[in-house]
């Protein structure tokens, strides 16, 4: 509990807005001290692209195979005024522990640490890793840097993101795109005096709606509550006056894609469709990716980690609607399952909490997982 309170007390917000973005250095330094104390060898790895951001890798044991317990050290920003208590002070009330990141996902580290107090590290036959990353809530720079480094960690991985103790092996990919049309403004009384970007964007929307119908007809996965890929029209801004031809219009869209869909192919489809929609109008079109894109996750149901997680949790692995670092870990050669003590309903909300009753079951589950993979099984 002291560890949990210390992590909550340390703000580690990551944000696309540089005014809100903070270093996670103190967070990883705390974790480094605690894992060294448990007998792990610890590395703090600066992320080259982001000053003052770090990944932590702690390792016990050696050899092939191995289990990685992974979590992100950052949280989303918070509106302090909306909280009933200080978001940076772990507060117990009604059998719940409140604090920013309590569920998503600072709780994971103290739960792992408490579990490890009962594990005899001298008996490990396969290595056990703790991985703590930065910027999961924003750019995913930590996970990207790990993939780029070519590091090999364990064969199996568990990420303690909030899933209400249910195993998850699938999620959708996420991309967000901006489309901008530049025309020419002029007096509203004569259309020939300008090129109307707003009318052009109407054609782009119509084209993208038809394209969406086609990709939804071609892609379907009943494991997801929303079983098709989605395209949301999120914002549109353009023009300034009713009596002036709209010279400039900008729209943002969000797409959630099923596992197996190629992100770059989808981006190319959006761009091709939009360009065709305004072909011959004289409008200039520009595209920008708002985020680099989070790949979809699909860890094979037959992998050891998914099967063990299903057995320990007592239910089959499912699909969730949020993105995680799991596809990056899979790209590093791991098989990754997501399973954590918090609930996603509390994540990114004021008065975020972890129910106290979740802690013991999560510890039990992690203890059995470590024993099964790292102690009982020959690599």
Cβ 105 to Zn ion, closest distance in Å? 5
Structural tokens at position 113? 């640490």
Cβ 135 to Zn ion, closest distance in Å? 11
Q: Which is nearer to Zn ion, 161 or 177 (CB)?
A: 161
Question: Considering only 105-113, 178-186, 193-201, 218-226, which stretch makes contact with Zn ion by CB under 5 A?
Answer: 105-113
Cβ 340 to Zn ion, closest distance in Å? 8
Q: Which is nearer to Zn ion, 76 or 373 (CB)?
A: 76
Q: Please, what is the angle between helix 359-370 and helix 304-313, to 10°?
A: 140
Q: Which of 74, 177, 221, 343 is catalytic?
A: 74
DSSP 13: B
Give the β-pairing of 156-159 and 168-171. unpaired
Residue 209: phi and psi, rounded to 5, are -65, -40
C-beta nearest to Zn ion: residue = 104
Is 74 one of the catalytic residues? yes
Q: Which is nearer to Zn ion, 58 or 159 (CB)?
A: 159
Cβ 261 to Zn ion, closest distance in Å? 23
Cβ 245 to Zn ion, closest distance in Å? 46
Binding mask 126-165 for Zn ion (x = CB under 5 A): -----------------------------------x----
Q: Which is nearer to Zn ion, 185 or 336 (CB)?
A: 336
Cβ 306 to Zn ion, closest distance in Å? 20
Q: Which is nearer to Zn ion, 105 or 297 (CB)?
A: 105
Question: Considering only 102-110, 146-154, 181-189, 371-379, which stretch makes contact with Zn ion by CB under 5 A?
Answer: 102-110
Residue 355: phi and psi, rounded to 5, are -70, 130
The C-alpha atoms of residue 181 and residue 287 are separated, in whole angstroms, by 9
Q: Helices (DSSP H) in the chain: which residue ranges?
A: 2-9, 25-37, 108-116, 141-149, 197-218, 263-277, 304-313, 326-331, 359-370
Q: Which is nearer to Zn ion, 162 or 259 (CB)?
A: 162
Structural tokens at position 6? 């210390």
The 3-state DSSP class for residue 316 equals coil
Cβ atoms 56, 70 nearer than 8 A: no
Smallest CA-to-CA distance from 93 within 355, 340, 347 is with: 355
Transcribe 114-136 into DSSP letters: HHHTT--GGG-SS-EEEEEES-T
Structural tokens at position 179? 């489309």
Count the residues in the chain: 379
Count, residues near Zn ion per rule CB under 5 A? 3
Is residue 352 a contact point for Zn ion (CB under 5 A)? no
Q: Which of 21, 114, 135, 136 is catalytic?
A: 136
Task: Please report the sign of the dihedral spanned by the C-alpha atoms of residue 27, residue 31, residue 32, residue 37.
Answer: positive
Is residue 104 a contact point for Zn ion (CB under 5 A)? yes
The C-alpha atoms of residue 47 and residue 299 are separated, in whole angstroms, by 26
Cβ 72 to Zn ion, closest distance in Å? 6
Is 136 one of the catalytic residues? yes
Q: Which is nearer to Zn ion, 50 or 74 (CB)?
A: 74
Question: Considering only 98-106, 118-126, 148-156, 211-219, which stretch makes contact with Zn ion by CB under 5 A?
Answer: 98-106
Site residues for Zn ion per CB under 5 A? 104-105, 161
List active site positions: 74, 136
């Amino acid at each position: 509990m002291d560890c949990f309170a210390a992590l909550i007390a340390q703000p580690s917000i990551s944000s696309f807005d540089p005014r809100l973005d903070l270093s996670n250095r103190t967070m990883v330094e705390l974790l480094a001290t605690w894992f060294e104390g448990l007998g792990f060898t610890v590395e703090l790895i600066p992320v080259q692209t982001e000053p003052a951001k770090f990944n932590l890798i702690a390792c016990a044991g050696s050899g092939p195979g191995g289990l990685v317990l992974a979590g992100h050290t950052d949280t989303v920003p918070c509106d302090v005024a909306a909280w009933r208590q200080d978001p940076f002070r772990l507060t117990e009330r009604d059998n719940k522990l409140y604090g920013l990141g309590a569920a998503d996902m600072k709780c994971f580290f103290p739960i792992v640490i408490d579990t490890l107090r009962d594990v005899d590290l001298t008996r490990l036959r396969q290595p056990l890793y703790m991985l703590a990353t930065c910027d999961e809530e924003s750019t995913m720079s930590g996970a990207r840097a790990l993939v780029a480094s070519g590091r090999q960690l364990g064969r199996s991985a568990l990420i303690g993101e909030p899933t209400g103790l249910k195993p998850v092996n699938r999620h959708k990919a996420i991309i967000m795109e901006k489309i901008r049309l530049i025309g020419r403004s002029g007096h509203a009384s004569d259309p020939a005096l300008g090129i109307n970007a707003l009318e052009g964007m109407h054609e782009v929307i119509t084209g993208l709606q038809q394209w969406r119908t086609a990709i939804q007809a071609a892609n379907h996965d009943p494991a997801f509550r929303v079983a098709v890929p989605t395209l949301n029209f999120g914002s549109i801004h353009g023009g300034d006056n009713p009596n002036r031809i709209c010279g400039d219009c900008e729209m943002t869209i969000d797409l959630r894609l099923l596992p197996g869909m190629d992100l770059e192919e989808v981006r190319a489809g959006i761009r091709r469709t939009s360009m065709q929609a305004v072909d011959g109008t004289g409008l200039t079109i520009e595209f920008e990716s708002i985020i680099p894109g989070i790949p979809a996750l699909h860890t094979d149901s037959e992998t050891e980690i998914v099967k063990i997680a299903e057995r320990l949790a007592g239910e089959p692995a499912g699909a969730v609607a949020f993105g995680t670092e799991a596809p990056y870990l899979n790209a590093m050669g791991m098989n990754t399952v997501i399973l954590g003590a918090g609930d996603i309903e509390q994540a990114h909300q004021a008065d975020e909490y972890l129910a106290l009753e979740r802690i013991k079951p999560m510890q039990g589950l992690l203890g059995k997982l470590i024993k099964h993979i790292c102690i009982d099984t020959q690599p």
